[in-house]
Amino acid sequence: MRVLTGIQPSGDLHIGNYFGSIKQMVDAQKKSETFAFIANYHAMSSGNGGEALAKLTMQTATDFLSLGIDPEKSTFWVQSDVKEVLELYWILSAFTPMGLLERAHSYKDKTAKGIAANHSLFSYPVLMAADILLYSPDIIPVGKDQIQHVEIARDIAIKFNNQYGDIFKIPAFKVEENVATVPGTDGQKMSKSYKNTVNIFGEEKKQLKTIKKIVTEQIALEEPKEYANCNVYNMAKLFLNEEELISLQNRYKAGGEGHGHFKIYLAEVMWDYFTPYREKRDYYLNNQNEVRAILQNGADKAKNIAAPMMEKIRTATGILY
């Protein structure tokens, strides 16, 4: 079973990204052949670029390696290191009806938010189809917002195969239904765009400051407290085992402690949880050449699949090479 995913290098990673996506990827490495790439061409479509994009690309790669993406088990690379994807993008464009792109929610949502409506934003699903179809994966794990993009990739692949035979594997998407949405400091879904994130690799004092801002019920110190809908509890539970969870619930029920105490506890358990990852990250930050070498090696592995696939596609479509 081959699983493929792309990650946009779009900012500091937060605990919503970790529990909603990165941890699933790390766990998937145990049972599937995993392909993961940093989607730096995609990031350009929302206006990212220049030194900031280069920096974020390396930062995201460093963070993923630190959090458990294992280059021995996974093929892990930067999208732009395998140029075949751009050639396939053009070829697939000829199999993409305009209506398919005009209906894409993501494009409509992003332009509604004020991101400039340039061509790359519009044709983004075609590049994403190329990302997927080049490597013949079985499954694309996605958040709900990306389902339509995988459906577009399927439509394009079917249209292409109808004309040229069974070249592309038709990918399926998988939505992780049992992955809970991690709340942000204001209680909405944690997201960079809402500026309500608790970052994975923040500085300790800053992290505590962020956690202290988490919105909680106003209630006297001595009163028993509700935990089920408490944002602090709902973040803390991500880091706790059964026993620790029950003990925290009992502290809520007992009264005598305020949310400030629970926030300090959350900051501590979170800090401890990420300590081994932070140590690994410090190592990689001091050895960025090693990260680049891992990515280059990943790109070589990806190319070993992409190059023969592209040859097949060129032959079918009559592109001389």
Where on the chain is the footprint of ligand TRP (CB under 6 A)?
A: 4-6, 8, 39, 42, 128, 131-132, 140, 146, 149
Partner whose footprint covers residue 38, from ligand ADP, ligand TRP, none (CB < 5 to 8 Å by kind):
none
**Pairwise CA distance, residues 120 & 86, whole Å:** 12
Q: C-alpha angle with apex 24: 49 to 15, nearest 5 degrees?
A: 60
Pick the closer one to ligand TRP by CB: 266 or 302. 302
Shortest Cβ distance from residue 206 to ligand ADP (Å)?
18
At its nearest, how many Å lie between ligand ADP and the CB of residue 195? 10
> How does DSSP assign 113-180, residue by residue?
TT----HHHHHHHHHHHHHHHTT--SEEEE-GGGHHHHHHHHHHHHHHHHHH-S-S---EEEE-TT-P
Q: How many residues bind ligand ADP (CB under 6 A)?
A: 14
Measured CA to CA, the distance from residue 315 to residue 307 in angstroms comes to: 12
Q: Which residues pair with 38 in a beta bridge?
A: 7, 78
Binding mask 121-160 for ligand ADP (x = CB under 6 A): ----------------------x-----------------
Instruction: Compute the distance between CA of residue 94 and CA of residue 77 in angstroms, rounded to an integer.
Output: 27
From the list ligand TRP, ligand ADP, none, partner contacted by residue 140 (C-beta under 5 to 8 A by kind): ligand TRP
* DSSP H or E run through 74: strand 74-78
**Beta carbon nearer to ligand TRP, 5 or 32:** 5
Report in angstroms how near the CB of residue 165 gets to ligand TRP at its nearest: 24
Q: Which one, 6 or 20, has the nearer CB to ligand TRP?
A: 6
Which DSSP category does 193 fall into? G
**What does the longest C-alpha to C-alpha distance in the chain come to?**
78
Instruction: Tell me, residue by residue from 182 to 221, as one string, x for binding to ligand ADP by CB under 6 A and - for no binding.
Output: x------xxxxx----------------------------
SS3 2: strand
Q: Which residues contact 128 (CB under 8 A, 6 or more apart)?
A: 6, 42, 149, 152, 153
Closer to ligand ADP by Cβ: residue 192 or 314: 192
Q: Does residue number 118 form part of the binding site for ligand ADP (CB under 6 A)?
A: no
Residue whose CB is less far from ligand ADP, 11 or 255: 11
Q: Which is nearer to ligand ADP, 29 or 191 (CB)?
A: 191
The residue ranges that bind ligand ADP (CB under 6 A) are 8, 10, 16-17, 20-21, 143, 181-182, 189-193
